[in-house]
Amino acid sequence: MPAKKQASAANFQNFTPYKAKKKEKYMNEPQREHFRTILLGWKAELMEEVDRTVSHMKDEAANFPDPADRATQEEEFSLELRTRDRERKLIKKIDSTINLIDNDDYGYCDACGVDIGIKRLEARPTATQCIDCKTLDEIKEKQQLG
């Protein structure tokens, strides 16, 4: 399979970090627009990858006479489809995050209500918890699962 750019969480990071002004209100219109732009760009990259997968699978689909070749192709397609399924879920999360921006609810922790913070949101634009609450959730999960 030819080497190709993988759509991932890291690909959306080709943006200019937001420079907050002194005494600027948190999640004002320029900040919300900054994150909307990041999210829409990320979503567009993921959608392009979906289109590439569809065309790749159409172009590469062949009925190989050799069972090993057929199995290799099926495994390759299976891995691609699994990746696209994860990305489909991520696209849904991006859409719900854009909805939060539209409703002026973006940037605040779901658990405690504090500001999540610009830097954390730039690292993970779909974050819904502040770093403290997320850390506690991960500790609890680790204790429950062993």
CATH 1.20.120.910 segments of the chain: 26-106
Q: Which residues contact 15 (CB under 8 A, 6 or more apart)?
A: 34, 37, 38, 41, 122
Two tokens at 40?
Answer: 């829409």
Residue 72 has pLDDT above 50, yes or no: yes
3-state secondary structure 78-121: HHHHHHHHHHHHHHHHHHHHHHHHHCCCCCECCCCCCECCHHHH
Q: What is the pTM of this model?
A: 0.81
Mean of the per-residue pLDDT values for the chain? Answer: 88
Condensed to tens digits (0 to 9), the pLDDT of residues 122-141 reads: 999 999 999 999 999 999 99
The pLDDT of residue 20 is 86
DSSP assigned state of 17: P
Residue 5 has pLDDT above 80, yes or no: no
For the residues 91-117, what does the mean pLDDT come to? 97
Query: What is the CATH code of the structural domain delimited by 26-106?
Result: 1.20.120.910
For the residues 63-68, what does the mean pLDDT come to? 84
| pLDDT, greater one: 81 or 14 | 81
pLDDT band at 3 (very low <50, low <70, confident <90, very high): very low
Condensed to tens digits (0 to 9), the pLDDT of residues 14-46 reads: 788 999 888 999 999 999 999 999 999 999 999
